[in-house]
Structure 1
Amino acid sequence: MIGRVARLVWRVGKPRTIGVRALLLDRDGRVALVRHTYADHWYLPGGGVKKGESIPAALVRELAEEVAIADPVIERVLGVYHSRRESKDDHIVIFVVRTAASGILDRADLREIDQAGWFPLEDLPETTSPATRRRIAEYRRGATGTGAW
């Protein structure tokens, strides 16, 4: 019953959310991707911006929480996208981020992150999500993205 009421409130109120993701590159130019325990695809690391939190602070927090990156250097915004999936009104800000890290990419939150790894931009896992592939393609073209997720 509580779940049905919560879904109804969500549909009626359609709260706007803000998310962040990182196109995180290691010193060898490989991109970090994660597979969540609750999803089948590979994604760019990131998550939601908490109330009272700045967007860059959320990005730094998410990188620490998901892949234990403590030294991210934000280069630029790759794009800002809008998602209406799952009855949401979600805006996602993608940053291009560099790190001096290399080697094995750690999973910081084992309950949320099933796998994490560095991948060459031209050799992504077969199950990389379509939106993640689009963001990486935009980066490789030097484009700034906008529009639908």
Structure 2
Amino acid sequence: MSAVDLFRRSPLPWLLYRTHLSLLKLRAPVTLGVRTLIVDEQDRVLLIRHSYRPGWYLPGGGVKKWETMEEAACRESREEAGIDPIALDRLVGLYANFEIGRPDHVALYLVRRWRPVSHNSWEIADVAFAPWDDLPPDTTDATRRRVEEFMGLRPPDNRW
């Protein structure tokens, strides 16, 4: 078993994540994040599973200082999913997320044109494409809502 696998299975990633959230509350009371809705030729949606929290998510993360939202979306897609967007097809929506204890705003981008790149992140436990109408049972509610909105099955909501 590799060192990365041992790290992923230890409680340390979860502790680091919780510490990071606590520090963000002090340093950045309002945050800006991005997520990508990456779709393949069969209209399947790319999902990721983190090593430090349960459930399947759309790839994404925080926007760094001096980085545009578009640059952050591309960077996070490469880092978390091993996907290099050739282009961001469009901004799907802007959402407010108040579930994590501080005000967060999330921009969601559609990515249909992309190429795979190698990646190995301790942060990501699994990456998989899933049919939009048959997402894994432990897909997060917010992820399900975004996919259903995109497919026209529910009206858009401005809350993540």
**Does the CA contact (< 8 Å) of 1:66 and 1:107 recur in 2?**
no
Query: Within the alignment, does 1:10 sit opposite 2:25 as a pair?
Result: yes
Tell me by how many angstroms 1:123 deviates.
0.8
Query: Within the alignment, does 1:39 sit opposite 2:30 as a pair?
Result: no
Aligned length: 142
**Runs (4+) of structure 1 moved beyond 6 Å?**
none
Residue 128 (structure 1) aligned to one of 139, 143, 146: 139
Distance 1:14 1:85, change over 3 A: farther
Aligned partners of 1:75, 1:8: CA distance in 2, in Å? 34
> What TM-score, normalized to structure 1?
0.83
What percent identity do the matched residue pairs reach? 37
Aligned partners of 1:68, 1:8: CA distance in 2, in Å? 28
Letter in 1 for 2:136: P
Residue 123 (structure 2) aligned to one of 95, 101, 112: 112
Tell me by how many angstroms 1:117 deviates.
0.3
Structure 1 unaligned residues grouped into runs of 5+: none
Aligned partners of 1:108, 1:46: CA distance in 2, in Å? 15
Q: How does 1:1-149 map to 2 (within 5 A)?
A: 7=22, 10=25, 15-101=29-115, 108-141=119-152, 145-149=156-160
**Does the CA contact (< 8 Å) of 2:36 and 2:60 recur in 1?**
yes
Q: Which has the higher contact order (CA 8 A, sep 6+)?
A: 1
